[in-house]
Structure formats: C-alpha cells, structure tokens
Amino acid sequence: MRWWPRSIGGRLAALSALATVVALVVAGWAIAGVLERFVTRGIDQRLDAQIALLASTVGADGRVDARLLRSHRGLLTMGRDWRWLIHTPREALGDAGLATMTVRTMPRHHGRDHRSGPEGGPPMPVDPAEVPVPLDGIGADGVVLHARRHVLATTSGTVTITVAAPQAVIAQPIREAVTPLLLALAILGGLMAAVTWVQLRIGLRPLRSLRDAVAALRAGRIDRIDEDQPTELRPLAIELNALAADTQAALATARLSAANLAHALKTPVATLALAVGDDPVRRRQVDRIDATIRHHLGRARAGGGRPPATPLAPALTDLAQVVTRLHADRGIAVIHDIGPDLTVRLDPHDLDEVAGNLIDNAARHARHHVRVTADRDARMVTLRVIDDGPGIPDADRTRAMEPGIRLDERGDGHGFGLSIVRDITTLHGGTMILEATPGGGLTAIVTLPA
C-alpha cells in the first residue's frame, strides 16, 4: 500500500491518529446524544407540567372550566411559538393548528414511563395510555415543533390535550454546548497527539540505539553489540553478535588460507623467476603473476578484523625516502608535511600498500616533484597525492583504477597499483577518486578511517 508509511514510527503514529479521531468522534457523538436527551427531557417535563395544568381544567364530563383555564394562561405562555390545544368532542380551545400538525417522526417513547405522573409524587409505573406521547412535527405555519399529546377519557368521549414547544428551544442549548465541546475535544486531540509523539520518541529510542550500534559494529568501532536491551530487542542483539562472530571467524579462516596460499606459492614463483632468466617476455609474465598474488592477498588482508591505529607521518616519511631513491636518476622530489598526531585505522602493511602505490605511481609520471598532504574531519582522514605530470583524461580515470589496466605501457608496472589502493580503501569504508591538478598533473584523493 503506497499510502501506508514505511517507517515503524510512521505506522504507529498513523494508527494512533486514526484511533484518536475515531475515539473523539464517538465521544462527541455520545456526549451530544446524552446532552440532547437531557435537554429534551427537561423540555418534556415542562410540557408535561402544562398538560397537567390543562388537564385540571377538564371535568369528568369532558367540559372545560373556562374560568380556571383563564387563570392558568399566564403559566401556559412560556415564550414565542409555545402552543397548546384542548380538543373535546364539543369544541377546540387553543392553537387549532396543532390538530393538523404534520408528524415527522414516530413517538420516541413507548411502553412504561417511570417518571412522576401529572399529580406529582414518587416515580411509579403507569398505564401507557396515561403517558403523554412525544411527537416531532411541523405546525400549520411551518414552524418545527416538539410536542406532547395526552388523551383523557371522559363520560362524553375522549379529550386530547396537545402542547408544543419550538424545536429551537432544544437545538439552541445543544448548539451552545457543542461548540465548547468540540473545542475541548480538539484540545484533547492535540494533547493526545503530543503524548503519542513523546511515546514514540521514547519507545523507539532503543531501536535507534541498536541501529547506531550496528553501524558502529559494521564500521569496526566496536567488536560486539551490548545485549542489555529491552525484552523485544535482546534476541535481535544476540543474533547480531552471533552473526558478527561467525563473520569474523570466516574472515580469519580466509586470511589464514590466503597466508597459506602465499607461503605455498612463494617458492614456486621464485623458482620460476630464476628459470626464465633474462627473457623479458617471460619475466614480465612472472612479475604479473607475483603482482596478481599480492593484489588478492591485499584484499584478503584488508577484510579481516578491526585494524590498529597507525601513525601516518612515519609511514609517509619512509615511503618518501624509498621512492626518492628509486627515482633519483630523474631528480623527482617527494614533499610532505604530515602532523605527528594524525593516525588512520589501517593495518601498517595496508597503509604501505595504499600510500606506496599512490606515491610510486605519481613519481613515475611526475616531471619534477610529488606533494603529499593530509587532513581529517570527525571520522575520516583525507590523503592527497599530487604530481605535476601529464595527468589522465577524464574519460580514462575510472578505467585507470581497474585491475590489470595500464594506460601508459612505458616502463615497469602491471596495472594493479591503483586497483589495490581502491580495493583496500573501499573495504575499510573509504573512497578513492582521481582529479586533475590545477596547472597540470593528477591528484589522487583517498579517504581512510581516522
């Protein structure tokens, strides 16, 4: 489902928001319903009191005592559109329009009513025929009414008493109460959203901590994940530690196999080099075999375990001296100024492979000098080897880092130097790029873990 959030936090937030909205809607509907029943019951009691007053004016013979009715008129007039009607077999007194009121709904109360009767007194069950029947309808003049109707049995026939109040006297207090109710529900929804956000932040914090621990384990900054985790995450931490241990064991086995392979091939390759003598073609092939072996051994060595912290300055000083002597006939100078406190998380042999291949490659193509610089940020050290040679065209820089590729066939080399550097830096979480040197030449930039 594209609309469903992909994150656990997003899904929990969506579910919480949906549940909150549903709960608030149901609560609002229920409270509004209770409020409507409460207001309606109050109006019904007032209408029933009017029915009791009107019923007191009807005699047993069905006649209406006009004098008594006039004395009650002040109590019957409660406001605009409040109406009453006494309909006897002989006459109709009051608002005749109530007799033709269009009923919109069926009576809402049937059966027994446990409220007080017209005479007052304690609540008691009464006969349904004696209970005023509620009716909602529209008067002859179009006013929406809430009415109560009561039937009296007399010697001359039945007398129907109807009293009605405008529906607005029920709707208005409900509207006035619902407005602050909706505001309160909105505030409550906002508070629940804030609480949900806090719960998600606190509840998902162990998951974020475990993610950071896995990243640190992958980067080699820790050896294992702390297994003191919440109950739901502790089995995952245990399995991750077991996976890391199995991976380390497999890497150790691979490194041991590579070392054994190197030891086994050392003597045959040396014997083969003596056997080919000065034949340049065969000698070149033997050197290529030796370079290939060193290339794959370097990859195996770079993938194993957490390497030590190696100072950068001493290694570069030694390499600069060696490369300067190798290219003494061309007068190539290797210049570097590396701080003594700069270290990289790299095996010393791997550092020699990386820096040595870069400096030697730069010296072979430089015209006058090679310059080496280094700086670091919070996590990585950036090493730059800059020469003033002819450089490499943009289209060929990526291909120059592929194993066995030589863009310049002059001189020695087998095309594995830059590929070894790229593989070792990549396996340690670093990068390697080649850029043009301003003014001419090539700049090799590698990042290594600090």
Instruction: Tell me what pLDDT residue 353 has.
Output: 84
Phi, psi dihedrals of residue 22, rounded to the nearest 5°: -60, -45
Instruction: Tell me what pLDDT residue 281 has.
Output: 75
Q: Which of 443, 439, 362, 434 is nearest to 394 (CA)?
A: 434
Please say if the pLDDT value at position 313 is more than 80. yes
pLDDT tens per residue, range 82-127:
888 898 988 888 887 787 777 765 444 433 343 434 433 333 333 3
CATH topology of domain 308-449: Heat Shock Protein 90 (3.30.565)
Q: Which residue has the tokens 């008129």?
A: 73
User: 120-149 burial, b for 16+ CB within 10 Å, e for fewer?
Assistant: eeeeeeeeeeebbbbbbbebeeebbbbbbb
User: 347-360 burial, b for 16+ CB within 10 Å, e for fewer?
Assistant: bebbbbbbbbbbbb
pLDDT, mean of residues 253-258? 74
Instruction: Tell me what pLDDT residue 107 has.
Output: 46
Which of 123-132, 393-402, 404-413 has the highest average model confidence (pLDDT)?
A: 393-402
Please say if the pLDDT value at position 142 is more than 80. no
Instruction: Tell me what pLDDT residue 299 has.
Output: 58
Pairing outcome for strands 333-336 and 369-376: parallel
pLDDT, mean of residues 387-399? 80
Instruction: Tell me what pLDDT residue 273 has.
Output: 78
Cβ within 8 Å of residue 426, ≥6 positions away: 432
Q: How does DSSP classify residue 396?
A: G
Percent of the chain with pLDDT over 70: 83
**Rounded CA separation 260/257 (Å):** 5
| E strand map for 30-183 | 83-87, 92-94, 102-103, 133-138, 144-154, 157-166
Q: How does DSSP classify residue 58?
A: B
**Rounded CA separation 182/350 (Å):** 69
**Rounded CA separation 295/184 (Å):** 72
46: amino acid identity, one letter: R
| Segments making up each domain of the chain, as ranges | 8-174, 216-306, 308-449
**Rounded CA separation 46/76 (Å):** 10
pLDDT tens per residue, range 341-354:
888 888 787 888 88
pLDDT tens per residue, range 8-63:
777 888 888 888 888 888 888 888 888 888 888 888 888 888 888 889 888 888 88
